[in-house]
Amino acid sequence: MELRCAVQKYAWGKTGKTSLVAQLSQGNSAAPTVEDDPYAELWMGTHPSGPSVIKSSNEPLLNHLLSNVDSLGDEEKKVFGTDLPFLFKALSVAKALSIQAHPNKKHAEELFATRPDLYKDPNHKPEMVTAWLGPFEALCGFRPVADIKFFLQEIDELAAVVGKSACEALVKAESDSEEMQALRECFSALMNTSEESVASALKQFEQRIPSLSAEKKDALQCDLFTRIAADFPGDVGCWSVYFMNYVVLQEGESMFLGPNVPHAYIFGDCLECMACSDNVVRAGLTPKFKDIDTLCSMLDYQAGPVDRFRMQWSTVDEFCQTCSPPVPDFAMARLRLPASATVDKAYGLPVRSNASILLILQGQATSAETKEDLSFGQVLFLKAGQQLTVRVKGEQDLIVYQAFANV
């Protein structure tokens, strides 16, 4: 079944036809693109904030699942009930998203019970991000403590807003537990500093940057800092550059972000798969509500290189790969069929024991089962056990990403 999917026009999205999301939306629903509008996210799934509908009938996908429970796999229903446990997205990021983290399942239930106006569902939101079409920039997890100490020593303005006692505690920390506690104190002190003090320190540092040597600017990642500060003047989140790992994912590379991992996407296009939730705790780089106390109390303060978040894809055959993060809610597969396969060669996608959603990211093909053409931007729902066999058309390779429950 072909799906028509929801577009989210958040302020940080790329505008008009420069946005991958806008391009996909045209292929998905033929909706006209408004050039000045930000096209931030395409949602594929059943989440009530952006539910997909069946294109032929306009029936919400969730309604279809409730009345056709055989569409879901037996294990999937046993673990998650009669709804898809994942939400699949495409993102086009023009400027940084908020400094954020997602609660674990127990904490999400508590937040939803006590503050449903801010936290809209009781589910956790582990997520996997995969870069698409060029580099994708992000901040992710706390840097190695040695790096943070270096920045605090080199940037007086940052040390001033963090405070002398917190900085000294981090310098003196020896064991891993002492470092984590000192890092918590430093980050919490930063996030709770008055807006006036933060804005003043940011301005002082920005004014000092031009006088630094090229080598010093590079060491202090001044280009990254000034890009973010230009979009969020006076925002405490600008200082997060010096606490969190900066990572650039190349096309096809992936990261997994578990509960309580601080992160912020900065620029580029990506695909995301996550548990079916929209719970976000924010504390910077956003005009939205900043729940600083909740964020600082819940964060994972384990520090270290960003490589611990990277995911590896496993080869199924010469055309297909899969990636299974350490959660049951979702896994992903991707297919790249070369255009040279157009000569009477059909490929059958591996049959999944659970329901799945497919996004066609490039190329054209014909379905052997329905004889219908498939093309860029189309989103398909396959019920559990359903076969899809495709034959490539045209001169482009066919690229398809697929999301499904990991049980």
User: Do the domains spanning 2-140+247-288 and 314-404 agree at the CATH topology level?
Assistant: yes
Q: Is the dihedral of CA 144, 149, 154, 159 positive or negative?
A: positive
Say how far apart CA 314 and CA 80 lie, in whole Å: 25
> Within 13 Å of residue 260, how many CA atoms lie on the same side as its CB?
14
Give the dihedral sign, CA 305/306/309/312. negative
- CATH code of domain 145-239: 1.10.441.10
Alpha carbons 386 and 35: distance in angstroms, whole number: 39
Q: Could you tell me the two tokens for 133? A: 């079409």
SS (HEC) of the chain: CEEECEEECCCCEEEHHHCHHHHHHHHHHCCCCCCCCEECEEEECCCCCCCCEECCCCCEHHHHHHHCHHHCCHHHHHHHCCCCCEEEEEEEECCCCCCEECCCHHHHHHHHHHCCCCCCCCCCCCEEEEEEEEEEEEEEEECCHHHHHHHHHHCHHHHHHHCHHHHHHHHHCCCHHHHHHHHHHHHHHHHCCCHHHHHHHHHHHHHHHHHCCHHHHHHCCHHHHHHHHHHCCCCHHHHHHHCEEEEEECCCCEEEECCCCCEEEEEEEEEEEEECCCCCEECCCCCCCCCHHHHHHHCCCCECCHHHHEECCEECCCCEEEECCCCCCCEEEEEEECHHHHCCCCEECCCCCCCEEEEEEECEEEECCCCCEEECCCEEEECCCCCCEEEEECCCCEEEEEEECCC
Task: Domain 314-404: give its CATH code.
Answer: 2.60.120.10
Q: What confidence score (pLDDT) does residue 167 get?
A: 96
Which residue of the set 282, 334, 352, 391 is catalytic? 282
Q: Is 282 a catalytic residue?
A: yes
10-residue averages of pLDDT along the chain (407 residues): 96 96 91 94 96 96 96 96 97 96 94 91 94 94 97 97 96 93 97 96 98 97 97 96 98 97 97 94 89 95 96 96 97 94 77 97 94 95 97 93 97
**What pLDDT was estimated at residue 288?**
86
Query: Binding site for Zn(2+), residues?
Result: 100, 102, 127, 263
pTM of the model: 0.94
Q: What is the pLDDT of residue 134?
A: 83
Residue whose C-alpha is closest to residue 379's, from 43, 31, 20: 43
Buried b / exposed e over 299-321, threshold 16 CB at 10 Å, is bebebeebeebebebeeeeebbb
The confidence score (pLDDT) of residue 343 equals 52
Buried b (16+ CB within 10 A) or exposed e, 101-127: bbbbeebbbebbeeeeebbbbbbbbbb
Assign domain 2-140+247-288 to its CATH architecture: Sandwich (2.60)
The pLDDT value given to residue 178: 94
pLDDT in tens, 328-346: 999 999 999 998 765 557 8
* Domain ranges (residues) in the chain: 2-140+247-288, 145-239, 314-404
Binding site feature residues: 100, 102, 127, 263
Nearest one of 61, 128, 78, 73 to 352, comparing CA atoms: 73
